[in-house]
Structure formats: C-alpha cells, structure tokens
Amino acid sequence: DIVFGDWSSDVCSSDLYSFEPDYSRKINVLNFYIIEDSLWTISDIVYIGLDDLPEDLKYGIEAKKSNLINTPFSENNILSDVNRIYSYLADEGYYYLYYKTPTITIDTLFYKDSVTIEFVTGKRQKISYFNFVDSSRGQQIIGYDMVSRQLEFEMGDWYSYSKLNRTEYNLISLGTFERVLIDTSGVFHPITDSTLSYVATLEYRKQQEYGISFFTNRTIIDNFWNAGIEASYFHRNVFGAAQVFNPFARIAINNVSEAFEDWNKAQFEILAGINFSQPLIWTIDKAKVGGSAQLFISQKTINRDFKINTVSLPVRFPIKFPSWTYFNSASVDFSFERQAPQDFDNALQTAMKRAKNLKDSLEVQRMFWLYGNLDEFIKLEKPVLTSSLLGLSILGDTRDNPFSPTNGYFAAITVDGTNPITMPIKSLAGVASFLRLQFTHYWFWSLSPRSVFAAKVRAGHIFWFDRNKSYVPFERQFFAGGANSVRGWPSRRLRFDNKYFSEFQTDEVYNFGQDFIGNGSILEGSFELRYKLPRFSKLGNDLSEIISQLGITYFVDWGNAFQWLILVDENGDYIYNYSLEDYVKGMAIAAGLGLRYETPVGPFRIDFAWRIYDPAAINDKFIFTRPNAFNGVQFHIGLGHAF
C-alpha cells in the first residue's frame, strides 16, 4: 500500500516518510507525510524575450494572459498561460521558439512569489516551398493539383504549427494514404535564416479491395446498429484524384437490437448499388466542399406483411469548416427517390384479417392511409420520382473517440424535406410533402481515468403538408423506445397516445400500427455514468486484460414521441392537438444499468431498464406505487453506446 496523509504531530520534521510492515494484512506500507504549510500568492509575473515582437503580436499575447496576480500560486495556471502564449507565437512564424523553466523568487515575509519566464523566439520564419514525395508502393499516384489543395496556407505565409497539422489531417482524410510525414528539408530548396522549406512524404495504402464479408455499422444520430453480409469492390483512387468507386450488394438487418427484442419486427433489407465520392470539389474561403453520390435499389421489410421497393440517388456535398469552430462540418443533401409499396392491396388485406370487428377494420385502413397515398399516386400519375428531398446538416464534433468518448461533444442540427426546386414538376417532386427539423446534442465529461458522465438531448418535429394526399417516408418518421432511446420500452412502442388507445378493440391491430407508422414529434434525453473496471494485474495478463475492457453503466432516460401519424382525419387534420401540459405530462422516465465490453468498433452492451414513470398507465404511473414494478425489466442488446 502507498498512503498519503497530513502532517502528524508525532512525526519528526525529518521523517517525511515511513516504511513499515502491516502484520495483520501481511503487506508493507509506505507512508508519505505532506507538509502543506502556508498559502502563498503570486505578486507578479515577468515575461522576458517578448519586448522586440511586433505591436500586433504583443496585443495578441496580452489577450492570452490570465489575471493571476494576487491569486494562490498554481503551477498549472502559470503553465496554462505560458502554453497559450507559446501556441499563439508558434502559429505566427516562430519556428525556433522555446521557453526556459520558470524562475520563482520567494518573499518569505509576505508569502509572495514572483515568477519570471524567459522566451527565446528566434527569427520569424516564412514557408517558402512545399514539396511532395510519393511512396506509392505500386499504387496509382494522386495528381499534384489535388494534394496541393489540401494545404492550409500559401507560399510566403508565416510558419504556423496548427496549419501544418491541419494540412496533415486533410491529406490523411483523403483515405488514400497509410501515413503522411511532414518535415523541414533542404533537399529540393534551401532553408535560409528567414524561410523554411517543407517536404511531405506520402505513403500510399492499398487502393483496390474486393471480397465478401460480414459488416456492421451505426447511423450517425439514431445510433442504430445494422449488420449483415456484403459483397463489394473498392477503389480509393479510381481517376487519380482520390475518388472512391464502390459497387456493392448486401443483405442486412437494420436496427439489430430491435430484432433481438422481437424477431417479427426485424427490418430486412436487400440492397445493391454504387457509391462514388470526390473528397474535394471546391474551396470556399476556409471551407472545403466535397461530393458523394450513391445509386441503389433495395427492398426493405418494414413489417412482416409490408415491404417497400426503392430506387434512390442520394447526392451529398460535405463541407469541412476550420476545426476551432463550434460546428466544424456541414453537408447539403439531395435525395431523388422512387419508392413503392410491394403488392400494397394484398398487404392491406392481410392486415385487415387481424381486425375482429368493423371498428378495427376502419383503424387498419387509417394505418394504411399514409402509404395508400403513395400507392395511389404511383398508379394514377406514373411518376419518375415519388420524392425529391433537400436537406442541410450542420455538425460539431470534438469527441476524443468516436466509439467510446471520454471528453468533448457531438452536436447536429438537420433540416430536410420536400425540395422546392422540383416542386413545380409533379413527376419529379413526387408525393412526399413535409419539412423535418431535428436537433441532437451529446456531452461527455471525464470524471476520472476510468469514469465518464454523458448526457444527451434530442428533439424533432415534422411539418406534414397536405396530409390526406401525401406521405412521409418511413426513414424520416420518428420512433421512441428501444436500445438507443428510452430503454424502459421496446423499440417503436413508446408514444403519447393514451387519448387514442381506447379507439382500438384488438391489441394485435394496435401493436401492428405501432410498428408500422411513426410519429411527427419526438423529445428525449439521457444521463449516463460510465465506469470502466481497472486492470487487476494480480490475476495474470490475459484475465486482467479482459477485465480491463469491462465496464458498468448507470443511466436515466426520459422522453416520448407525439403526434402519431395515424391520427389524421378525412380532412387531413390531426385528431388530437397536444397542449404544453400534455408534452410535460407525457414524458416517460426509465432508469437502469448496463454491462459493457470494449471492442475496436465500440462497446458490446447489455442494458436492463425499468419504467420509473409511465405516462400511458391508467393507474400507478410511478414505480413506487406499482405492485411488482421491479419485475417489469426491459432488456436490450447493442453495439456501441446508446449515444
């Protein structure tokens, strides 16, 4: 054991530590005694070596300083100021910059410290030349125009440490290089007393791959876990400018955790298509704009009785902003789609067989109203497209790890809906008519080397226009409940519809509608405390390594989905309009704990959740008054954290 303790009166001033056996536990104990003494404050901080800098840089340095005079002495606070000044000057041309260990002069009478820091700046440098050396390893070389456009500076600019780092990141993000090494070199051009010449060595990775393999991925906001088998061909530099060409065919289960809960709800998808992307098309000021397109055909099983065939061409223009901005990327998305229910009339008749009476038969017809509008539009208009959508997403991501973050945040604001450009042409605009707004924000704080506190909030709303003649695609509807939502409820089974539940006479019909039709609004959030187990070296390397990958999570989820898209009358109006009080009272709350095991693509997790507050319950809404409440545990399995 190692024990740190306060100064004790029975310890001699020369005894700063003791080392003695503990016979009862059969261990040796090393005790350190720390003398805190009196609190000292900072009287002044003097910076040497900065007087000859240009006036604009002096103003910049003053802005980097904190007001530490007369504050308690703190080495961390002093070094934070020093490092901010160092980083600032390192981005303003001072390549040879360094600072010496701070000198501290003490005033023992008044318990004051005077701190002196000496900077050695060297002569200010400009970047005069930047060359590229290709280590191709037999691969096709990217053209000079593309790699040079990844530079964050121009020849003749002042040396900047951060701009060189961003240049290295830009080159790596092309996806064609195994490694990028940037360093000064006088091989091609001389280095002078005021200029620097750089060389970037580009080590190429294998560009072509093909084969059949199992795959797994996750959606960016809903965090759904998808898995399946895929055959694909991949070329990372097909036309010599880092373009990606990727034809593929796959069979997948979308939202695997939902299939674990109820196999009848599994969303199977058979899909074949081609991906093509160009990492950089335009540079607008400091923003870099790329482009990608995917042409595919698919058949998706939404419900065991209902399938949708889709031919789609999503076109995406990703935009990268400077890394220091809160929202550091964005994308403009166009989606051109022809979507058609497979054998709609037969699916409707199959669903009607579940109805036990006339009332339920009418409700089944109401459920199919949404997709009936789509089916009727196709039969009557024979359009080229059934939806033409335009979307804008703004993203901010500072997470230190995309799979298991310990610090940072992820933020997303998305707006998507009917494309106004194609609206005048009915055969291109299609029958989808809506505008969807969505906001998502995750926060992560490291509490200790093994514990993290995380929080999430998500809100979304769909403005559905001309409801009795149009539709909202299934992928754009909101669903609550499940492994990545409020975990006290099964996937798709949480919504605030208790005003309408009594309309159904048959549970089977009601449950069918829950799986089949989503909602127009969602509001939900979560709090998680994530703890990773320490490494127990006494158990041996293999076992201690396994244990160190295990973790425990405690969580509280809240939220609900509103405005069930079934609830539309013959005039296209919602049957019920929710008040602010309904939204407040409709917040479901669940809590639970989970087990985690870290993998290279995120933790494999098992969660157990209980309903703390159930707004749909007629009686005993709270768990504390509910008989046998702790027996109603909801089980979830997934890959990756819930957010």
Q: What are 438-477's pLDDT values in tens digits?
A: 999 999 999 998 999 999 999 999 999 988 889 999 899 9
196-224 tens-digit pLDDT: 999 999 999 999 999 999 988 877 776 67
Structure tokens at 106: 């003490």
**Angle of helix 55-64 versus helix 75-90 axis, rounded to 10:** 150
Residue type, 563: Q
238-259 tens-digit pLDDT: 999 999 999 999 999 988 877 8
Long-range Cβ contact pairs of 351-355 (< 8 A, separation 24 or more): 351/305, 351/306, 351/512, 354/506, 354/508, 354/509, 354/512, 355/506, 355/509
Residue 119: which of 141, 139, 94 has the closest Cα?
A: 94
117-173 tens-digit pLDDT: 999 999 999 999 999 999 999 999 999 999 999 999 999 999 999 999 999 999 999
- Asked if pLDDT for residue 299 goes beyond 50, the answer is yes
Residues 230 and 272: their CA atoms lie apart, in Å, by 10
How would DSSP label each residue in 424-480? T-HHHHBSB-EEEEEEEEEEEEEEETTEEEEEEEEEEEEEE-STTT-B--GGGSB-B
Identity of the highest mean pLDDT range in 34-38, 508-512, 550-554: 550-554
- Asked if pLDDT for residue 490 goes beyond 70, the answer is yes
529-539 tens-digit pLDDT: 999 999 887 78
Q: Radius of gyration (Cα) for the chain, nearest Å?
A: 31
pLDDT given at position 145: 94
Window from 372-376, 499-503, 546-550 with minimum mean pLDDT: 499-503
- Asked if pLDDT for residue 503 goes beyond 90, the answer is no
> Strand 451-464 vs strand 434-448: parallel, antiparallel, or unpaired?
antiparallel
In a 13 Å sphere around the CA of 202, the CA atoms on its Cβ side amount to 30
- Asked if pLDDT for residue 14 goes beyond 60, the answer is no
Structure tokens at 452: 């993290």
Q: What's the pLDDT band for 10 if we cut at 50, 70, 90?
A: very low
* Residue 264: DSSP 8-state: G
Q: What is the mean pLDDT of residues 564-572?
A: 76
**Angle of helix 75-90 versus helix 161-173 axis, rounded to 10:** 70
Residue 560 near residue 523, CB atoms below 8 Å: yes
Q: Partners of 195 in the beta sheet?
A: 126
Structure tokens at 331: 């994308």
pLDDT given at position 9: 42
- Asked if pLDDT for residue 604 goes beyond 50, the answer is yes
Q: Partners of 180 in the beta sheet?
A: 202
